[in-house]
Amino acid sequence: MKKIIHSKVQMNENGNSIMTQEMIQNTHDYIQETLGDDYVVITTPTELNIIDGDTKIITIDCKDYSYNELIDIINKAGSCDGLCK
C-alpha cells in the first residue's frame, strides 16, 4: 500500500510563495524520486506529513477525504489515463 507524502510550500507574511514555481517543482520531483514508487507526493502550502489509513487529510466541497479514499481516486485516475492515451 502506497503512502502519501504531503509537502509544504513555504509562504511569506503576504501569503506568497518564497520559492519560484521551478524551485517548487524541482523539490517535489526530488522528493518523489528519492522516495520511489512506494509513495505519492502531493505538494501544497501545508506541512510535510506521512498519511495513511482512514486519517482525514483534505476537505473538498465540504467532504473530508482520507488516505484510503484519496489513494483509490489516484489509482482510478491512473487507470483512466492509460485508457485515454
Domain hosting 66: range is 3-84
Closest CA to 5 of 17, 37, 75, 23: 37
Domain count, the chain: 1
Distances (CA, A) of 39 to 4, 29, 34, 62: 6, 12, 10, 26
Q: What is the model's pTM?
A: 0.53
Express each pLDDT in 28-67 by its tens digit: 999 999 999 999 998 988 565 677 777 777 777 888 888 8
pLDDT digits (tens, 9 = 90+) for 61-76: 888 888 888 888 888 8
Q: What distance in Å separates the CA atoms of residue 31 and residue 34, rounded to the nearest whole number?
A: 5
